[in-house]
Amino acid sequence: MRSSDSALRRQSLNQTAMADQLVITEKTSQARDVRAAVGSRYGDILPAEGHLLDLLEPEDVVPAWKRWSPTLLRPEGLYGTRPAPGGNKAAKLKAIRDALRGARRVWLATDCDREGQLIGQEILEHYNYRGQVMRVLFTAQDPQTIRDAFGRAKPNADYASLYAAAVARRQADQIYNLSLTRTATVILGRGARGVIGVGRVKTPTLAIVCKRELDIRHFVPRAYFEVVATAKVAGGQFQMRHAPQERIVRRELAQDIVEAAQGFAGALAVRVEDKRQGPPKLHDLPSLQKLCSSRFGWSASKTLDLAQELYDGQGKKIITYPRAEVRYLPESLISDVPKIVAGLQAGKSFGTIPVPDPPVIRKGASGTFHDKGLEGASHHAVIPNVNMVDHLREVWPRLSIDEKKLFDVIARAYLAAVMPDFRYRQTTATLDVRGFAFRAAGRQPIEFGWRAAFPDWQPADEQGDDAQLLPALRNGETAQLKNPSIEDKETRPPPRYTEGTLIEAMQNAWRFVDDEVLRQRLKEAKGIGTPATRAEIIGGLKQQAFLIAQGKNIVPTDMGLQLFGVLQQADPALVDPGLTAELECLLDDVVIGKQEMIGAIDAVCDVAQRIIGKLQDGATTEGPPLFGDAGSRRPTPAMKRFADSISRQTGVKPPPGYATSGSICRAFLDQHAPRKNRADTEEAGASGSRPPSPAQLLFAEKIARDKGIVVPDTARTSSAAMSAWIDSTQGNKRGKGRRTSTGTPPRSIAPAPSTTPKRRSRKPESRGAAAGTPPPPARENSGTDTPLRIPYGHKDDALNLGARYRAGGWYAPPGVDLRAFGERGWL
């Protein structure tokens, strides 16, 4: 009996202990995984649903702030929190609140990053919980990892700096974003409908894309020349090239080099070096998003969603935490290497990769395992989950095709990291041809090493001129040149961003800083935004119709370019990625104790206050709004009905604001509506005000891109206005029987007007502007050459119009009609 009583007492004590404990997870699926791993050993398990609390609005703190004005919305102390609306957040928050009343100990088992710390701890702060709090950190969600994490839980106080960094970022963002959005709207909008949104990260991200687009549009290609010849030696023949760093821009000089090389024979200078190259670093989220964008054409959000599913999806859980921000592993994970390698190689996909036994372990900054490289980071690089790798055979059939592709990328990167260096022989041959250096280079593999994990991959430095296989060469042997020729080359503009390369640009924002000292400091920072939010930021800019996808590329819309121009003119700091990177650096310093939370918030507020002052100093009270009504015109009822219909058919939810903003609605239709019969579906509104058809819009955007201009909003008001703008911009009639506009051609809206624009002449500007109006007389260039500015991609058009190219750029010879160049904006 005594034994039985003792067992009952122990059971009663255990139940009491469990009753006064609580586990808080970040979401329902996480609660389910924790419950499966530890049961109720640590008390009730209650999930949040992301952030269950929002910050108070400015007017909740200071009633006078309800009226928008150029004011820094910095409260005394910090913004308080309030329950967040939406979903079943209220019910979840109430359940946690009720459980906290009787809880002696709380286990925070939210995600292991800064945001996860905030999601859990802000609830405890909101309800002034004063019991014991333990922090449970896990980087994978299989049962063994979760059990181990509870076993090594630490007091939550150990993570005070992580929480402080999250609070600083959230508070600073609210103050900066709301203060500058209200200031920009009041001062720059001057009463225009709609809001001029400014975001600490969003606006510089838009600026990165807009600057690149303007660089492309303003790019003027320059011709240059290289000379190539075939070199014959005893062992065979190969190509040699004269391509000096100072490009050859005069064809006559290239011709002189051809003549010097014709039949030339001389002694080769041959240098042979054995080199080695270590494997690429493991993946963090940005590197995964860039690679998958390039290789598979995936959006950044798709890559993140797939990685999240591999991490915590039911019956999967085969990778570690995906929102990684570093590409190193802690040295404590070296012991897992043999098990992960063996588990991966048990399947057919990775079984043929020759990983050595024992695997190669690289430590330090240039290696894989580097504890110092993880300082200030919440989690390590993304790798296969050691506790699930033995179950890949059962998991594999549950994965989608895209999930398998992503896991393949992660697994091969891990295997490559523990394989030998790639060893190769680099051969460089040079030949002095009467003072002109000709060169050839080739690379021969000695040992593939880690490259065997990527059998179909060829790096960029093995493509092009250095990709040729050279015959056996001896230093000093004679080479005979034959068939020298000139290759015509042309400089090219920078490429447009994809989502992957845009995220990389956000991560490496130091590249946008001119000051060398600051550049070096920012190289150690993590760029602008966070791995978890960058895809969301890009998606938000798309939803607001500031950015749009064009194939794999991301390009700004007219409205995005206009907003960028206005903000850049008002104060360049508003759109400076480098400044935002500096602020990110301060916020990140809170994690490692280099900066106090309030100090970081103060620094962001100081920048915001300075910008507000500059906007106020530059404000004028006369003239129309600088930003005007761009994008704020409501869609026609037909457009909204069509968008609703497309949403029902495709299951794609229209973006916020589509019912009130014509630009947002139109961008949604352009992306999702079928091309066929779309113009017929968008019915006419009032008589004579039928909106432009999608075909007109696409054609107008093409003309605008070709000419380096923007389509004015006035042209978008109706089909007739758009037709008139197209006619006037093209400068000719578009077909027999086509109606021409009898009104004034619409005026283009400059991206960044600084003063009240002068009223333009109401006379038609081209033959298509008004029926029966005679064309302006042709202007001929007489006597001297006229310099031209020919945009990239228009070489053939320019030549057909009579333009010519020489050292120094494009020009129109005497006698050429300049009217066509003037209409295109090329004079």
3-state secondary structure of 58: helix
Cα angle, residue 243 at apex, residues 242 and 247 outer, rounded to 5°: 130
Long-range CB contacts (within 8 A, 24+) of 361-364: 361/334, 361/337, 361/418, 362/278, 362/417, 363/331
- Contact of 258 with 484, CB cutoff 8 Å: yes
461: which residues sit within 8 A by CB, 6+ positions away? none
Tens of pLDDT, residue by residue over 382-436, are 999 999 999 999 999 999 999 999 999 999 999 999 999 999 999 999 999 999 9
First vs last Cα of the chain: how many Å apart?
105
Q: Which pLDDT score, from 0 to 100, does residue 282 have?
A: 97
Distances (CA, A) of 591 to 117, 332, 547: 12, 22, 33
Cα Rg for the chain, rounded, in angstroms? 32
Quick one: 406 exposed, middle or buried, by C-beta within 10 A (0-12, 13-18, 19+)? buried
Q: Which pLDDT score, from 0 to 100, does residue 668 have?
A: 73
- Host H or E run for residue 271: strand 269-277
- Contact of 45 with 34, CB cutoff 8 Å: yes
- Contact of 258 with 247, CB cutoff 8 Å: no
Tens of pLDDT, residue by residue over 454-503, are 988 777 666 665 567 889 899 999 999 999 999 999 999 999 999 999 99
Q: Which pLDDT score, from 0 to 100, does residue 196 have?
A: 84
Give the whole-angstrom CA distance, residue 180 versus residue 566: 14
Nearest to 230 by CA among 463, 468, 443, 427: 468
Residue 556 pLDDT > 90, yes or no? yes
Of 98-112, 496-510, 523-537, the poorest mean pLDDT is in 523-537
Give the pLDDT band of residue 756 (cuts 50, 70, 90). very low
Calculate mean pLDDT across residues 126-152.
94
Give the whole-angstrom CA distance, residue 25 versus residue 39: 14
- Contact of 335 with 289, CB cutoff 8 Å: no
Q: Which pLDDT score, from 0 to 100, does residue 770 have?
A: 30
DSSP 298: -
Residue 225 pLDDT > 80, yes or no? yes
272: which residues sit within 8 A by CB, 6+ positions away? 425, 426, 427
DSSP 480: E
Q: Which pLDDT score, from 0 to 100, does residue 512 have?
A: 86
Residue position matching structure tokens 């510089």? 204
More confident residue, 461 or 290: 290
Give the pLDDT band of residue 743 (cuts 50, 70, 90). very low
- Contact of 277 with 421, CB cutoff 8 Å: yes
Q: Which pLDDT score, from 0 to 100, does residue 474 have?
A: 93
Rounded to the nearest 10°, the torsion over CA 495, 497, 501, 502 is: 140
641: which residues sit within 8 A by CB, 6+ positions away? none
Residue 683 pLDDT > 80, yes or no? no
Distances (CA, A) of 628 to 114, 175, 633: 40, 25, 11
Residue position matching structure tokens 């992957």? 500
Give the pLDDT band of residue 12 (cuts 50, 70, 90). very low
Give the whole-angstrom CA distance, residue 275 versus residue 445: 10
Calculate mean pLDDT across residues 33-40.
94
Tens of pLDDT, residue by residue over 189-212, are 765 556 888 999 999 999 999 999
List the structure tokens of 276.
């080695």
Average pLDDT over all residues of the chain? 82
- Contact of 585 with 209, CB cutoff 8 Å: no
DSSP 369: B
Q: Which residues of 763-773 are buried (b: 16+ CB within 10 A; e: fewer)?
A: ebbbbbbbeee
Calculate mean pLDDT across residues 200-226.
93
* Backbone dihedral angles phi then psi of residue 481, each to the nearest 5 degrees: -90, 140
Give the pLDDT band of residue 641 (cuts 50, 70, 90). confident
Tens of pLDDT, residue by residue over 577-633, are 888 888 888 888 898 888 999 999 999 999 999 999 998 887 654 444 555 444 445
Quick one: 815 exposed, middle or buried, by C-beta within 10 A (0-12, 13-18, 19+)? exposed
